[in-house]
């Protein structure tokens, strides 16, 4: 092969690699296997090695990172990179809309908005001359940013060459570099194993990765970029923001699938609420939506305030993270005797809920995060999970903060504590520790368990303290006179609680199994066991070998189930439950599991049943319900009236079905 032929070959390989890279990282729909892609790539590397004079800066081989820099250069943005003014409520969004009308001198009908999620990452600008990526920078102070060209080159969704059909002479693309949640988790797990400090959230991890002097480190992080606008452009005329987004897509940029053109404020409000719901299922973090006036001439008429334009606004979601001060650290003793350190906080609103306690998980976490009494900390709430302390704001330390040491005795019963090998938890060894007993009974009576309405923690606490009950089965022998010994217990309340106890005697088997509090048996395994064994008596008789045979049960879990049913104390509680009238499930020989091996994700409200009912029914038929969409999802169930979310959900993995369909299936 002569040089001319090599040049031709190299060009073809680059084109093919760029295209397949685009299919994979931008469209998320590859056309060839990873192995085939690697073969193309290796061929290019080999040719470029033989003909180093043919290597160009925009070759796909240049994504691997270069030699470390001493420091970053600076880049002056040709057009100021603005920030966004914020709206926190619907009212404030409507105020924004009113200003658009007043300053723009337009009516409601003349305004169109482009809306997209507000990505929580790092803003960057990418300059392309004649289709080649030449320089990339961070936003910096809006006027001057840092030159992170080498780092941005390593990001697979950043095109190094634009698709040729419509390449302008010059374009400055703007967007956000992000790290997916799942990649963030994996990165932190790896760092934990290596004993490195963890990132507090995906945004910090993304920003830290882009601002690396060593681009090889950036290359090792699976970053992503969403393009959301442009700076300067030469050689192409565009009149609306939506045209810009379509154009960016054609050039090969990754544009978010939820970007939409909307015509009325009520559509925008609906979009906000849909995104608020949908964000839980997205693998990247969004902290609001961005609303931009579509028409450029109207944008120009509206102009800018000091730092932000009058034609755009960020309508934020309620924050999931806040900072506050740790007043004290206490220890909570759980159902299994595990001692959990808990931070008592200066109350703070997080995502619309006041948070005054946050878990510190265990001794190792406490040490790793180095949380001290008096520290300023970042707390986080995600959905229904218990709030947690994410990180300490070390710059706020004044030297008076106190280190907390885990106690060597149980704070509730005074028994010694132990930490078993390979376990993160320190446990209380007291066999009659009242804390464990109370938590145990609370778990037994909770919604996912026997579902005894009205039996809250305070009441259970009193029942235990007054000696009315000493295990869950005692509940079924309570009398009204017993109830009257509790504080503030009237006739009606006592009767209601006794009625709910009686009603709870015929639970679905899976909930009965869950309520027993067998170590390592959560909601899902409880359903598996119910399906597999059909009754408590069968489960009780199961040998260790028989348990391990069940597909989803590993040796550790099998051991803890087996041990549970060997313990004479547990067996006597089971007998007492039976005597108290609790039904242990009938023997069922053939179980009908048509949904076996299928994974469902439920989103939005269903109209004919609650989500937990739907979940229970799907699981009874052998299916699995998972909280978020992944490669393993078979069906995404969208409730009735999904509005404009349906086309969005359609681009997610898995098949979309609506409520009536899933009802048909179950």
Name the site residues for ligand IVH (rule: CB under 6 A): 82-84, 116, 118-119, 123, 139, 176, 228-229, 290, 309, 312, 314
Asked if 309 contacts 98 with a C-beta cutoff of 8 angstroms, the reply is no
Q: How far is CA 549 from the centre of its chain?
A: 33
Find residue 355's DSSP bridge partners.
Answer: 348
Give, in degrees to the nearest 5, the angle at Cα 352 between 346 and 358: 40
Nearer to ligand IVH, 275 or 425 (CB): 275
Task: Give me the least distance between CB of 116 and ligand IVH, in Å please.
Answer: 4
Rounded to 5 degrees, φ, ψ at 457 are: -60, -40
Nearer to ligand IVH, 47 or 278 (CB): 278
Instruction: Say whether 15 is catalytic.
Output: no
Task: Give me the least distance between CB of 256 and ligand IVH, in Å please.
Answer: 7
Burial 160-177 (b: 16+ CB within 10 A, else e): bbbbeeebbebbbbbbbb
Nearer to ligand IVH, 81 or 350 (CB): 81
Asked if 262 contacts 113 with a C-beta cutoff of 8 angstroms, the reply is yes
Nearer to ligand IVH, 302 or 525 (CB): 302
Task: Give me the least distance between CB of 312 and ligand IVH, in Å please.
Answer: 5
DSSP 3-state of 229: strand
How far apart are alpha carbons 107 and 98 in whole angstroms? 10
Task: Give me the least distance between CB of 177 and ligand IVH, in Å please.
Answer: 9
Task: Give me the least distance between CB of 314 and ligand IVH, in Å please.
Answer: 6
Task: Give me the least distance between CB of 243 and ligand IVH, in Å please.
Answer: 16
Residue from 15, 118, 190, 367 carrying the catalytic annotation: 118
Q: Can you give the length of the chain in residues?
A: 666
Nearer to ligand IVH, 305 or 418 (CB): 305
The runs of H, that is alpha helices, within 126-264 are 149-153, 181-193, 202-210, 215-219, 241-251
Task: Give me the least distance between CB of 289 and ligand IVH, in Å please.
Answer: 8
Asked if 452 contacts 469 with a C-beta cutoff of 8 angstroms, the reply is no
Nearer to ligand IVH, 77 or 161 (CB): 77
Rounded to 5 degrees, φ, ψ at 443 are: -60, -45
Rounded to 5 degrees, φ, ψ at 584 are: -95, 15
Rounded to 5 degrees, φ, ψ at 280 are: -65, -30
- Cβ-count burial of 408 within 10 angstroms (0-12 exposed, 13-18 middle, 19+ buried)? exposed
Task: Give me the least distance between CB of 290 and ligand IVH, in Å please.
Answer: 4
How far apart are alpha carbons 123 and 272 in whole angstroms? 22
- Cβ-count burial of 104 within 10 angstroms (0-12 exposed, 13-18 middle, 19+ buried)? buried
Dihedral (CA of 400, 406, 411, 414) sign:
negative
How far apart are alpha carbons 158 and 224 in whole angstroms? 8
Nearer to ligand IVH, 316 or 511 (CB): 316
Asked if 599 contacts 524 with a C-beta cutoff of 8 angstroms, the reply is no
Task: Give me the least distance between CB of 241 and ligand IVH, in Å please.
Answer: 9
How far apart are alpha carbons 69 and 62 in whole angstroms? 16
Q: Which residue is nearest to ligand IVH (CB)?
A: 123
Nearer to ligand IVH, 118 or 624 (CB): 118
List, in order, residues 6 or more apart from 627 with CB less than 8 Å away.
280, 601
Three-state secondary structure along 425-437?
CEEECCCCCHHHH
Nearer to ligand IVH, 309 or 448 (CB): 309
Residues classed as catalytic: 118
């Amino acid at each position: 092969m002569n040089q001319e032929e090599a040049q031709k070959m190299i060009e073809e390989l680059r084109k093919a690699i760029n295209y397949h890279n685009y299919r994979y990282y931008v469209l998320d729909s590859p056309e060839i296997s990873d192995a085939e892609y690697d073969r193309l790539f290796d061929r290019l590397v080999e040719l470029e090695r033989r003909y180093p004079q043919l290597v160009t800066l925009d070759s796909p081989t240049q994504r691997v990172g270069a030699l470390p820099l001493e420091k970053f250069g600076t880049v002056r943005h040709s057009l100021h990179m603005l920030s966004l003014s914020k709206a926190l409520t619907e009212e404030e969004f409507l105020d924004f809309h009113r200003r658009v009308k007043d300053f723009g001198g337009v009516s409601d009908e003349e305004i169109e908005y482009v809306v997209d999620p507000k990505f929580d990452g790092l803003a960057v600008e990418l300059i392309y001359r004649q289709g080649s990526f030449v320089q990339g920078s961070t936003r910096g102070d809006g006027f001057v940013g840092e030159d992170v060209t080498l780092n941005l080159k390593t990001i697979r969704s950043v095109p190094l060459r634009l698709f040729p059909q419509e390449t302008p002479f010059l374009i400055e693309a703007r967007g956000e570099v992000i790290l997916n949640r799942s990649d963030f988790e994996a990165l932190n797990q790896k760092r934990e194993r290596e004993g490195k400090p963890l990132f507090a959230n995906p945004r910090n991890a993304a920003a830290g990765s882009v601002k690396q002097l060593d681009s090889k480190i950036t290359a090792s992080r699976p970053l992503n970029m969403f393009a959301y606008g442009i700076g300067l452009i030469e050689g192409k005329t565009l009149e609306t923001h939506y045209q810009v987004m379509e154009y960016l897509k054609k050039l090969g940029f990754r544009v978010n699938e939820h970007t939409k053109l909307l015509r009325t404020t009520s559509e925008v409000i609906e979009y906000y609420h849909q995104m608020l719901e949908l964000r839980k299922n997205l693998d990247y973090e969004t902290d609001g939506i961005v609303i931009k006036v579509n028409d450029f001439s109207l944008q120009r008429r509206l102009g800018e305030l000091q730092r932000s334009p009058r034609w755009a606004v960020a309508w934020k979601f309620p924050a999931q993270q806040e900072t506050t001060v740790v007043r004290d650290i206490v220890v909570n003793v759980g159902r299994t005797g595990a001692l959990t350190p808990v931070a008592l906080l200066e109350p703070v609103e997080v995502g619309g809920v006041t948070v005054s306690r946050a878990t510190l998980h265990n001794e190792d976490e406490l040490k790793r995060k180095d949380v001290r009494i008096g520290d300023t900390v970042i707390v986080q709430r995600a959905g229904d999970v218990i709030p947690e302390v994410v990180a300490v704001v070390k710059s706020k330390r004044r030297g008076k903060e106190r280190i907390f040491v885990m106690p060597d005795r149980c704070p509730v019963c005074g028994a010694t504590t132990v930490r078993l090998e390979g376990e993160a938890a320190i446990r209380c060894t007291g066999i009659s520790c009242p804390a464990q007993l109370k938590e145990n009974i609370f778990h037994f009576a909770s919604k996912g368990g026997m579902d005894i309405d009205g039996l809250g923690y305070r009441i259970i606490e009193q029942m235990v303290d007054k000696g009315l009950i000493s295990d869950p089965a005692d509940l079924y022998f309570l009398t009204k006179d017993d109830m009257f010994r509790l504080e503030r217990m009237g006739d009606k309340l006592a009767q209601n609680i006794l009625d709910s106890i009686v009603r709870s005697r015929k639970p679905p088997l899976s909930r009965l199994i869950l309520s027993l509090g067998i170590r390592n048996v959560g909601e899902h395994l409880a359903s598996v066991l119910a399906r597999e064994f059909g009754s408590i008596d069968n489960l009780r008789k199961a040998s260790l070998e028989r348990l391990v045979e069940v597909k989803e049960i590993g040796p550790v879990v099998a051991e803890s189930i087996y041990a549970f049913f060997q313990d004479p104390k547990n067996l006597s509680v089971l007998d007492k439950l039976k005597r108290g009238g609790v039904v242990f499930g009938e023997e069922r020989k053939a179980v009908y599991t048509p949904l076996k091996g299928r994974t469902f994700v439920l989103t939005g409200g269903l109209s004919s049943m609650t989500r937990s009912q739907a979940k229970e029914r799907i699981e009874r038929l052998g299916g699995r319900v998972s909280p978020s969409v992944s490669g393993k999802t078979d069906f995404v169930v969208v409730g009735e009236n999904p509005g404009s979310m349906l086309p969005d959900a359609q681009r997610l993995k898995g098949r979309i079905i609506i409520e009536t369909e899933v009802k048909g299936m179950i």
